[in-house]
Amino acid sequence: MSFMNYKEMLNLFSTNVLSLETSNESCEGIIEKDIENMRIYKRNYLQLCFSNFSNDFPATKSYVGKNNFLFFTRSFLLDKGLGSVNIFKSSESFLFYLKGLDAAKEDRLIFELALIDFLWAYAKLKEIKVTDGVLEYWQELTSKKKTKKKIDFTKLVKIKLVEIDNERAFKLCDL
């Protein structure tokens, strides 16, 4: 007969993994051996989200760099966590999490690039407003084709996702 109930066991295991900390002390009462292998479950949790967000936000990742992007993913998981069985829904939460970060407040391109990434990946937003020149910069980051257009921080543009001959494309609209 076990002395710990199933719910307590799930609490300990889940909390330990979601903490992403190296210590596994809290699980000593439930795990017989190989407790250090809890790191596999922590690595899986971080890796899965990192690769999911990397797929959905390629320009943002390229702009901030891999290490910063991993740091943003990690802090998102620690602050918010994944709140849906559908992993794809987490990208929307991540987008708005990015918006609130100090780094994004200091550099508006982080959120604007993430907004374009998200629109491209999910076609969920009707239209978005971004700084003039950011769309061309997004295209440069995702296709590696250099743009001559300069970013004009004094001007905003509106972007829509449209379909032309069954292909997705961005359309610039009047404000």
Q: Is residue 46 at the binding interface for another protein, with CB under 8 A as the rule?
A: no
* Positive or negative: CA dihedral 32, 38, 40, 45: positive
- Kindly tell me which residue out of 25, 83, 126, 146 binds another protein, with binding defined by CB under 8 A: 83
CA dihedral sign, ordered 102, 105, 108, 112 = positive
Toward another protein, which CB reaches closer, 80 or 105? 80
- Give the residue with the Cβ less far from another protein, 11 or 143: 11
The single residue among 26, 45, 54, 128 that binds another protein, judged by CB under 8 A, is 45
Q: Applying CB under 8 A, does 100 fall inside the site for another protein?
A: no
Going edge to edge, which strands form the sheet with 152-164?
127-132, 152-164, 167-173
37 binds another protein (CB under 8 A): yes
Residue 22 binds another protein (CB under 8 A): no
Q: Which stretch binds another protein (CB under 8 A): 10-18, 61-69, 126-134, 140-148?
A: 10-18
Q: Is 128 in the site for another protein (CB under 8 A)?
A: no
CB-based contacts of 89, cutoff 8 Å, min separation 6: 83
Beta-bridge partner residues of 159: 128, 172
Q: For the chain, state the CA radius of gyration.
A: 20
Burial of 46 (0-12, 13-18, 19+ CB in 10 A): middle
Which of these, 58, 73, 61, 74, lies nearest to 20 by C-alpha position?
A: 74
Choose the binding region for another protein from 31-39, 110-118, 126-134, 139-147 (rule: CB under 8 A). 31-39
Q: Cβ of residue 51: shortest distance to another protein, in angstroms? A: 9
Q: Which residues contact another protein (rule: CB under 8 A)?
A: 1-7, 9-11, 13-14, 17-18, 29-35, 37-38, 40-41, 44-45, 48-49, 81-87
